Amino acid sequence: MARAPRYDILFEPVKIGPVTAKNRFFQVPHCNGMGRTFPSSMAAMRGVKAEGGWAVVSTEQIDIHPTSDITGATEGRLWSDQDIPYLARMCDAVHEHGALALIEPTHNGKFAPNNYSREVPLFASHMPVVGNAPVQARAMDKQDIRDYRRWHLNAVKRAKKAGFDIVCCYAAHNLSLAGQFMLPRYNKRADEYGGSLENRIRLFREIIEEAKDAVGDTMGVVARFAVDELRGAEGMEFEKEGREIIEMLAEVPDLWDVNVAEWENDSVTSRFADEGFQEPFISFVKQVTTKPVVAVGRYTSPDRMVSLIKNGVMDMIGAARPSIADPFLPKKIEEGRIEDIRECIGCNICVGWDHLQSPMRCTQNPTKGEEWRKGWHPERIAPKTADESVLIIGAGPAGLEAALAAGRRGYDVTLAEASEDLGGRVARESRLPGLSAWGRVRDYRVYQIQQMANVEVFLGSRLEAAQAMEFGADHIAVATGARWRKDGYGRSHQFPIPGLDGAGVFTPDDVMDGAAISGPVVVYDDDYYYMGGVVAEKLRADGLDVTLVTPDSVVSSWMHQTLEQHRVQAQLMSLGVELVTSHTLAGFGPDGVTVQCAYSGKEKVVSAASMLMVTSRVPVDSLYYDLVNAGGSAAVSRIGDCHGPATIAAAVYEGHRFARELGTTPDEIPYRREITELSSDFALP
Ligand code: ADP
Ligand code: SF4
């Protein structure tokens, strides 16, 4: 299918200094939990994006010296020539598809506790390192600054040797020295690197100019800069110094990559910001420089992209998350296949697993992180190995993805769903406050399945074992999900809690089913992800007095991983939800809910007519066991929450895996591993 001519503008080349990007799609640097720890996985993941049409494919941040050591985080590293080969592998993967490879060398300043290197951290001024480690960074003297400039330059030269086409000088997210030096709250220096704005940007200017002098004839040099920190006068503001800095350095780099800091402001989830939320902050930049400008905003709509270019907001469409959810987004626009785009839902599960130092995963794209180790391609899947049929029971994220992927393999697929709706938990949860974008998990799959003649869908079909067997399918996947439990069992409680077996006790499933809940209500969150906060918000919006009790010291504590915890807590407080942290549940009775301090054991009573339990879930797996025990000829599997209650991302992955593995015998360790190489010069001391 040919693309509509209005999208042609997105496929115009853009010059970045001496190199030319083939179109306007720019995958900005993003962490991925692979980096130097899983370098083949990282390189293959980047290569797939190049194949998907991104004209520029960037690394994650690459730390450049032992004084910038953030061991524990799984990022890139370029300390010496030893690090060149793995980065060269990424460049090769990117070049294979005609894209440009960009590197982001970084000195983390006070973000680097130097746990591995044991060096004293360096910073603009004396200051504790980020977090709560008992470590301080010391103020850099003139020699330190000269050293830093040399390390940066050495990294740039090594990047060229590795094969990179573009180097990005990094002053965004507060993660790099050059950016940290700009901020008066950090920079207390009295020399030519402190005081006036000109002095505070000296380091940034120097590293850009030095990179241009060294490699500017063959490599593009990008400035990546956060024009605002969303913290008012205490930080960078786009109408003040943010603008002045771009004015002062306007023509120095070959391209400006602009955003807002810190990372949680740049990568806001869909619950807290819409597509394009950064535009008010960055749209001035193009008026100030003649150099091309790239910016991000979780853009997935090609019409929006066209208008951004036409209206002079940016020259290239920057993306991290949309390129993760759909590495083939540019190709699909180029080929006129807009409805095939798998749109990012803005959940930040990708960020979460990067934080957990594990290969990133994605709710929408189950192949993310599996490109090399499992050989999973986001757009290609092996054809079926036999003329067989598949029955999938339950059309939540696991069942929908299983049906889609098995259908793509060419199997005859039947998808049976008990309710009148497709989407399972995704359909139900996307009706809760702030989660509407999650419905994209259903929408993408339902549309794709509708195009397939070999996938048949039955709604209103609650199957029991005998009926399921009547289909005569060769394979049955039970994807019947899980239900929240009422009895309080979970992380903090493994014995019955008095009062939970009576009336007035509810679960999130009851809320989603529209149960009548009377206030005041206590939401007990022993789950720590989004559900506790979201149902509290929903009940508050329904006009009830709500108290959220949680054993942890903050609400929704796992959401630190998705960069949302502080926003959830602030939102609940602003809505008037009472928060009781560090308390477990001791009982529920006519007087209300008895809670117990997790430290002192002291009890108190919170007035409540109803109790909403957000603790853990029980798989709905009786059908699976009925089928297994019936001993029919079909191979029976369980997938998704029915197999193990977890994230939506896990359910989609399980559905995909089921379909990939049909007709195969997976190894006991079902993927390739990257084993640390033993040093050849090992000797005992
Ligand atoms: P997952 O996250 O694993 O995909 P969900 O809970 O989202 O699980 O979806 C499970 C789906 O299975 C729900 O839509 C539910 O209506 C459906 N379901 C449960 N039991 C049956 C059954 N016996 N027959 C058909 N559908 C079922
Ligand atoms: Fe988008 Fe969520 Fe995938 Fe991240 S994990 S790319 S936020 S859909």
Closest-lying ligand 1 atom to the alpha carbon of residue 652:
4
CA 26 to chain centre: 18
pLDDT value for 534: 98
What is residue 673's three-state secondary structure? coil
The secondary element (H helix, E strand) that includes residue 606 is strand 603-606
Q: Which of 245, 239, 302 has its CA nearest to residue 275?
A: 302
End residue of a domain, out of 332, 355, 378: 355
Q: Please report how many Cα atoms fall inside a 13 Å half-sphere around the Cα of residue 354, on the Cβ side.
A: 21
Q: Is residue 455 part of a domain?
A: yes
What is residue 311's three-state secondary structure? coil
Give the pLDDT band of residue 445 (cuts 50, 70, 90): very high
The secondary element (H helix, E strand) that includes residue 101 is strand 100-106
**Separation of CA 387 and ligand 1 centre (Å):** 26
Residue 486 has pLDDT above 90, yes or no: yes
Q: Is residue 657 part of a domain?
A: yes
**Separation of CA 630 and ligand 2 centre (Å):** 40
Residue 447 has pLDDT above 90, yes or no: yes
**Separation of CA 370 and ligand 1 centre (Å):** 26
Query: What does 265-289 look like in DSSP terms, one character per residue?
Result: HHT--TTT--TTTTHHHHTTHHHH-
Query: Does 565 share its domain with 635?
Result: no
How far apart CA 78 and CA 64 sit, in angstroms, is 5
Q: Is residue 259 part of a domain?
A: yes
Tens-digit pLDDT profile for residues 204-238: 999 999 999 999 999 999 999 999 999 999 999 99
Query: Does 515 share its domain with 638?
Result: no
pLDDT value for 459: 98
- Supply the angle between the helices 142-162 and 202-215 in degrees, to the nearest 10: 40
pLDDT > 70: what percent of the chain?
Answer: 100
- Structure tokens given for 506: 């509810």
Query: Does 604 share its domain with 631?
Result: no
pLDDT > 90: what percent of the chain?
Answer: 97
Q: Which of 430, 421, 501 has its CA nearest to residue 461?
A: 421
pLDDT value for 177: 97
Query: Does 214 share its domain with 324?
Result: yes
Residue 1 has pLDDT above 80, yes or no: no
Contact between residue 394 and residue 642 where contact means Cβ atoms under 8 Å apart: yes
Query: The CATH number of the domain where 138 resides is what?
Result: 3.20.20.70
Give the pLDDT band of residue 9 (cuts 50, 70, 90): very high
Ligand 1 atom 6: residue of nearest CA: 481
Options 170, 299, 489, 529, the catalytic residue: 170
Domain count, the chain: 3
Query: Does 474 share its domain with 506?
Result: no
170 a catalytic residue: yes
Options 228, 266, 510, 527, the catalytic residue: 266
Q: Higher confidence at residue 175 or residue 44? A: 44
Position 604, amino acid: K
Q: Is residue 685 part of a domain?
A: no
Cite the DSSP H helix spans in 347-416: 349-355, 397-409
pLDDT value for 677: 81
Query: Does 73 share its domain with 198?
Result: yes
Contact between residue 297 and residue 316 where contact means Cβ atoms under 8 Å apart: no
- Residues sharing a CB contact under 8 Å with residue 183, sequence separation 6 or more, in sequence order: 174, 200, 235, 236
Tens-digit pLDDT profile for residues 178-209: 999 999 999 999 999 999 999 999 999 999 99
**Separation of CA 326 and ligand 2 centre (Å):** 9
Q: Which ligand is closest in space to the CA of residue 402?
A: 1
What is residue 15's three-state secondary structure? strand
Tens-digit pLDDT profile for residues 625-650: 999 999 999 999 999 999 999 999 99
Q: Is the peptide bond before 520 cis (omega within 30 degrees of 0)?
A: yes
Query: Does 292 share its domain with 168?
Result: yes
Query: Does 424 share its domain with 497?
Result: no
Q: Which ligand is closest in space to the CA of residue 366?
A: 2
Q: Is residue 241 part of a domain?
A: yes
Q: Is residue 674 part of a domain?
A: no
Q: Which ligand is closest in space to the CA of residue 438?
A: 2
Task: Ligand 2: list residues with CB < 6 Å.
Answer: 321, 324-325, 344-350, 362-364
Average pLDDT score over residue span 30-42: 97
End residue of a domain, out of 304, 337, 355: 355
Q: Is residue 371 part of a domain?
A: no
Query: Does 579 share its domain with 445?
Result: no
* pTM listed for this prediction: 0.98
Tens-digit pLDDT profile for residues 333-347: 999 999 999 999 999
Contact between residue 343 and residue 326 where contact means Cβ atoms under 8 Å apart: yes
Ligand 2 atom 8: residue of nearest CA: 344
Dihedral sign of CA atoms 65, 71, 76, 80 in order: positive
Give counts: helices (H), strands (E), the chain: 23, 29
Residue 359 has pLDDT above 80, yes or no: yes
pLDDT value for 676: 83
Average model confidence (pLDDT) across the chain: 97
Give the pLDDT band of residue 2 (cuts 50, 70, 90): confident
Average pLDDT score over residue span 394-408: 98
Q: Please report how many Cα atoms fall inside a 13 Å half-sphere around the Cα of residue 190, on the Cβ side.
A: 0
Closest-lying ligand 2 atom to the alpha carbon of residue 364:
8
Give the pLDDT band of residue 97 (cuts 50, 70, 90): very high
End residue of a domain, out of 355, 376, 402: 355
Task: Ligand 1: list residues with CB < 6 Å.
Answer: 393-399, 416-419, 424-425, 461-463, 479-481, 620, 623, 640-642, 651
Options 30, 31, 299, 347, the catalytic residue: 31
Query: Does 462 share its domain with 491?
Result: no
Query: The CATH number of the domain where 533 resides is what?
Result: 3.50.50.60
Chain length of the chain: 685
Contact between residue 264 and residue 351 where contact means Cβ atoms under 8 Å apart: no
Average pLDDT score over residue span 596-605: 98
266 a catalytic residue: yes
Closest-lying ligand 1 atom to the alpha carbon of residue 643:
3
Structural domain containing residue 448: 389-481+620-661
Cite the DSSP H helix spans in 218-371: 241-249, 263-266, 279-282, 285-288, 302-310, 321-325, 329-334, 349-355
Q: Which ligand is closest in space to the CA of residue 437?
A: 2
Average pLDDT score over residue span 375-396: 98
Q: Tell me, what DSSP letter sits at residue 382?
A: P
Query: Does 594 share its domain with 653?
Result: no
Query: Does 169 share its domain with 237?
Result: yes
Give the pLDDT band of residue 660 (cuts 50, 70, 90): very high
The secondary element (H helix, E strand) that includes residue 95 is helix 84-95
Q: Is residue 145 part of a domain?
A: yes
Q: Which of 549, 527, 522 has its CA nearest to residue 482?
A: 527
What is residue 420's three-state secondary structure? coil
